[in-house]
Amino acid sequence: MSMLPTGEIRKIARDGTQSTVAILGAGAPPRTLVGLATDAPGNVYALLNDIPATRGVWRISRHGVVTQLAALPGAAYLNAMAFDSRGNLYVTDSVLGTIYRLGVDGSITNWLTDPLLTAASTPCGPFPLGPLGANGIAFNARGDLFVSNTTMGAVISIPVRPDGSADAPAFFVPPNCGLKGIDGLAFDTQDNLYATVNLQNKIVRIDPSGSVDMIAAAPGDPLFFPTGLAFETGFGERKQIFITNAAPPFLGGTSGIVTLEVGVPGRPLP
């Protein structure tokens, strides 16, 4: 779990015990630590929006060694990331409408910038916490990339060509006021896509045809500005998603982690 203002990454054990894995950033908070990802060996990756010298992708090895993998001083707001099946890491920039790719060879490229990834206005009005375009990111079983657009309330699909380049992006779910505030994404093994909708305190499931179904919502469920989500990866326990409640003070609620049983296993880590 990442602590946005302090740059702290915490580990939460099954019994609820918390411990600090690393503290990233320089100078006084706020440091704006956001998205996290893990790989199959158990290394943790984090995105830091700090001073230009430390802004970028960081890795905390399973042995606790902290390394800055990629410096992205020109980024405006790094937000979420996902690995493809080849080990390349893709990172969203919610302000610039850009996806960066960190290659397995260490190269850093601007993989795609597109108007569909920007915080374009819609009839649903502006996002009250500021314009945010490309946000959550996940790969389906075929290897195509899906990205949430927070202000639009939409999901964008981006086919990936055999050479790894981006094909033309398109709406998988067009702008929808019911998805305004869409944030984190995760796929299950049947290519259903799960998403948090932070502003509306709900979780939705989107089937492979693009049909949206709400599966949890406040006040019946303990959701307070849900942001990230991830499937359990333990053997035999992959049908549960863990959801981050950001619960900003001005919106009320309690920050922390809540769980939801969805009945279908999540896609395994690449």
Q: Using alpha carbons, select from 41, 121, 108, 54 the residue that is nearest to residue 81.
A: 108
Rounded Cα distance between 31 and 45, Å, is 16
- Give the pair of three-digit tokens for residue 112: 């795609």
Q: Please give the domain boundaries of the chain with CATH numbers for all domains.
A: 1-74 (no CATH), 77-270 (2.120.10.30)
- pLDDT for the residue 10: 74
Residues 91-104 pLDDT 10s: 999 999 999 999 99
DSSP state of 30: P
- Rounded CA Rg of the chain: 17
Q: What is the mean pLDDT of the chain?
A: 91
Residues in a beta bridge with 45: 37, 59
Distance of CA 234 to the CA centre of its chain: 20
Whether the CB-CB separation of 116 and 169 falls below 8 Å is answered with yes
The order of strands in the sheet holding 33-38 is 33-38, 44-48, 56-60, 66-71
Q: Is the pLDDT of residue 34 over 80?
A: yes
| Residue 269 CB neighbours (<10 A) | 14
Rounded Cα distance between 12 and 15, Å, is 8
Average pLDDT, integer, range 77-106: 96
Of 51-60, 78-87, 210-219, the one with minimum mean pLDDT is 51-60
What own/partner pairs with CB < 8 Å and gap ≥ 24 does 169-174 have? 169/112, 169/114, 169/116, 169/117, 170/116, 171/116, 172/146, 172/206, 172/210, 173/206, 173/210, 173/212
Q: Is the pLDDT of residue 4 over 70?
A: no
- pLDDT for the residue 67: 93
Residues 241-265 pLDDT 10s: 999 999 887 777 888 899 999 999 9
Higher-confidence position of 52 and 205: 205
